[in-house]
Structure formats: structure tokens, C-alpha cells
Structure 1
């Protein structure tokens, strides 16, 4: 709806120019009244299924949409965690023989197909190898839909990190940084050089994605406590040892971490922490229940970990499972987990085809 309150019909090519961001978004699916109302386009728009018209929202409705609190509106469905790569056996030596199906390219064309099938509106691409080259490549890939943001890598502990950060943060598609801490020795997070680098993130608006194994969570808690003003996202729910049926110690540590209000959590990566060949949704559900109770829906976001998830689950299957787990929640709580939290925490601006 325009500022004058009038309803603007769709143009013949179904396109609008966003008033506040200056980028083009495309409405790519309209449904009849029998179809559930879905957000398909930029976070500034929602579809009104009424005579096939589209409304344009203005503030403060835009902010309410981002928060998933606007009555009757379903927030954009966002995959907060996936990867892309051009496979190289040296660069991706972590892909072991039991993950041999991943030894190929995974690019935006295939990603778009997966998102369309699962009716997902946008995504966040996350680094899979620790190089500035990959970070720049992901930012280039994000110039086209449906990638709304990138969690890249940079040498946070390096002395020249401030200069590198100053260059990277000029790209608005960079939403945060991540280091593969799960592969580092004990006390890496509490090292002076790494913590000096995290201090430089303050005030940039960039998120730090925390990737640790369950037994590294106490170190992660001590790390987070050093930066109460920094936004953190816990990847893959802290990687519980599901294959070993361990939940108690992980649960205590996750509940402790969740007491820090500057930490949110991704509902992702569980299939590969279980046995990819024998897991069931029932086996994984208790772990989801712990983070739901600990963080609450407003601090949870779905992520698929595609294509890694495909060694045990299809892209759409993971969405269906999480939708089932959240079915008993209120519409606003479901909207938070399925897109609202990621949109808010990462400051995602919009979606397009």
C-alpha cells in the first residue's frame, strides 16, 4: 500500500523499484485465494491474494514484517545456512570418502532449484574454506538471486585484519564472518590475537558465526562473554554428538550459552551429526526441543547446511521436518524460525528470483 493508502496493481512484468533500497525485486509467484498466503518477494513487500493484487508496505509495517509480527503476514522463508563451491580436491580435502557425493560443483543454478522446490524465498551463503578468495567469490555469487547475504572468512587473528575488514565491509552483502573453530586446538577462541580481531567487528554490524563441536561449547561460552555487544550465531546447534546418543552435557552447555541474549542459534546440521544412513526425525527431535526451550523461537533460525545435508537428507525434507517440529507454535513463532530471525539478525534486505 502506498503512503496515500492506495493499492498499486502489478505491472505487466511484475516488477517494482524499492523506494528505500534502490534495488529491483521481482514478484515471481502469485497464488489464488485457495493457496496459502506466502511472501515471495523483497522484505518490503507482501502478497495480498485478492483479485491478484500486490500491496507495497511502508514503515513501520516494513519493520513489523521483518520481525514477523505483522498480523496475517507470513515472513519470508529464509535458509540461513548453505554452501556453494566449485569442487577442487585440494581445497575441499575435508570432503572424505564417505561424503564422496559432494565431490562436484554446487552452484547457484542448482541452489535456486532447491529453494524453488521447498518454496524458500532467499538464503545466506556460508564459507566452506578459509580463504579471502572464496569470500570474494561468494559475494560475487550473491549479486544474483536468491542469495541475500554472505557469511565469509577473513584472517581475524592477523595484524592486517582491520584493513581487510575495512575493505570487505564496504560490500553490503557481507553479513558476517566465520572461522572453522571446530578444526582448531583447544583455547583458540581465547587467544589474544583472535580476540583482538573480534574487537574490530564491534560497531560494524557484522555477525560472528560460531562453529564449534559440543565439547568446545564451554570455551565458546567464555569467548562470547568477552563480547557482550557482539552478535553471535551458533551454527548447527553446537554440533551435538547425536551419533553417540549424547545429550545431557550438550544440553547443559547450550542452555548456559542461551542465557546470553546476543546469541542466536541455527537449527541446522543435525543429520550429519547423527548417522546419515539411519537417523530419524524422532531421534533428532529432543535436541530441537532443547534449543527451542533455551533460545525461544525469536532466537532460532532454520538452516539446511546444503549441500552437506544431502548425504542423509534432501533439501526439501529438512524443511518439512522443521515445519513439523514447529507446527504447534503460533504463526508468529513459526515465522521467526522459518525466516524472521535470520532476516532480523543478519539484516537481510530482500529477495528476488
Structure 2
């Protein structure tokens, strides 16, 4: 089974979705299951993981409702206020939804030290109890904090979104590489090969731009801890679904069929307890 481990749905709201700036105007509209389903079918992808894009329980419920109506949405990574005194009550509530499989908070927008905040970490401590994963979304200059953070939770399943957002546009790699190698040493930390094209000059990239970064990821994490994600529809600002998928498929073309199966689906199924 092939799984897209990272994509989003929304009904566009110009105030809530103000992060979608003029350079990303192409995605200033609604993106719903009816839009993604034919794309997945055309590309022989069997299902997807819907990931939060807004820090609200309202959106989490919106995604869970879509998942209940569309069987190809295999799981939902939602948002819960992990720093709240009510976090266990909320995790208990959302865990009643069969497809609620993980939590994400957009750390890239937070100040330095956020991951090490005691209240936030108290929420992270509860995720294992409910068999929930945590998606780590950060910029490359936040990876040192991520390393310090994950070592406090050896039994919690983490996945690094968008390979840690390296500066592909300026071809900076060395500092990011060192931190990725450290992070990959933790057996409970996985990585999504997603969000690559949006770290470049939109629509001016070449496949060769990504190869050095992919080499670091696969050499560090191994085929057992890497999963494909499209980051649709955000990817559309820099390339359509087929182009994004082709980057990964081209890189793994000479891998064994078993290795391809892990990267393109099995790792996501196992990681998210689907």
C-alpha cells in the first residue's frame, strides 16, 4: 500500500491563513478531499495522512470529519494545546476518533526554547499513553533544540517534517547535515521526505538540487525510518504533485522493491499505527 504521509486540507480563510503570502497566491483557495482523490488515484497512491495547518481544535475536528467521510484519508495529525492544564482531557477526547493518530504544533513559528518549555513537555509525556505520534515542524536552525528535546522522550515516536527545512535555495548543507546525523541516531525519530520544492526558488529548481540532501537523509535515517510526503497543496507553489513524487521515485529507483515499499507506505503505516 502506498501512502502519502503528509498533506493538508482547508477551506481558505484570508485572516486565519495569512501565512499564505503573495508568492503563494496559487493556494489561496479551498483544497478538499474531492480535489486530492483523483490526484492520488492517477499517481497510484492508496491513501494519505491529513496534517494540521492551523493551531486549533476546530481544524482538528474538521479533518477528522473529512477522514470519517473519505476512506482514503487513513489518519489525521491534529492540533491539541499540549501546554494546557486540560491536555489530558483533550487527548482522551480526540483518542475516541479512530483516525486520530498524532499531534503537531508548528514550532517553526515559536521563539527559541519553546520545545524545552516544561508545560509543553508535560503534554508530550502524555502522547505515549494514548499511542499518539508527534510531528516536528522546524527550520534547520532549530534542529539543535530538537535534538535536546527528543532525547528526553526515548519512548515517544517523533517524525521530522520536510527533512528539517534545510536552506536548499542557497545550497547550505554542512551544519544541517551534522544535526541530521545526530537526530537520526535516536531510534524513535523518523523523517519525512516532503516539502523539498518549497525550500528552493519556486519553479526554478532541478532534481540535482535535492540529491545531496536526500543522500544525507537516507544515509542517516536508513530506509526503515524515511517516508514519502507530498505536502500537497503547499507544494503547488513550486511544482505539481507528479513533479514532487518524481523526485523521490527517481532517487529510490535503484532501491530494492522491499525498500521502496517501506519508503512509499509501510513506514507511514507502522509509524502512525494505522
Correspondence for 1:316 among 217, 242, 253: 242
- Bigger helix fraction: 2
- Say yes or no: does 1:204 pair with 2:130: yes
Q: Which runs of 5+ in 2 are unaligned?
A: none
Question: Do the aligned partners of 1:117 and 1:316 also contact (CA within 8 Å) in 2?
Answer: no
Match of 2:63 in 1: 138
Match of 2:12 in 1: 87
Q: Which runs of 5+ in 1 are unaligned?
A: 1-75, 349-353
Match of 2:51 in 1: 126
How far is 1:316 from its partner? Answer: 1.6
Correspondence for 1:246 among 163, 172, 187: 172
Which structure has the bigger radius of gyration? 1
Match of 1:175 in 2: 101
Correspondence for 1:267 among 193, 197, 208: 193
Match of 1:19 in 2: none
Match of 1:105 in 2: 30
- Say yes or no: does 1:232 pair with 2:232: no
Correspondence for 1:223 among 149, 164, 174: 149
Between Structure 1 and Structure 2, how many residues are aligned? 273
- Aligned partner of residue 102 in structure 2, secondary structure: strand
C-alpha distance after superposition, 1:196-222 (max 9, x if no partner): 111111221100000010000000010
CA distance in 2 between counterparts of 1:290 and 1:275 reads 21
- 1:34-53 to 2 correspondence within 5 Å? none
How far is 1:274 from its partner? Answer: 1.2
Match of 2:84 in 1: 158
CA distance in 2 between counterparts of 1:186 and 1:244 reads 23
CA distance in 2 between counterparts of 1:339 and 1:319 reads 13
- Aligned partner of residue 5 in structure 2, secondary structure: strand
CA distance in 1 between counterparts of 2:202 and 2:72 reads 28
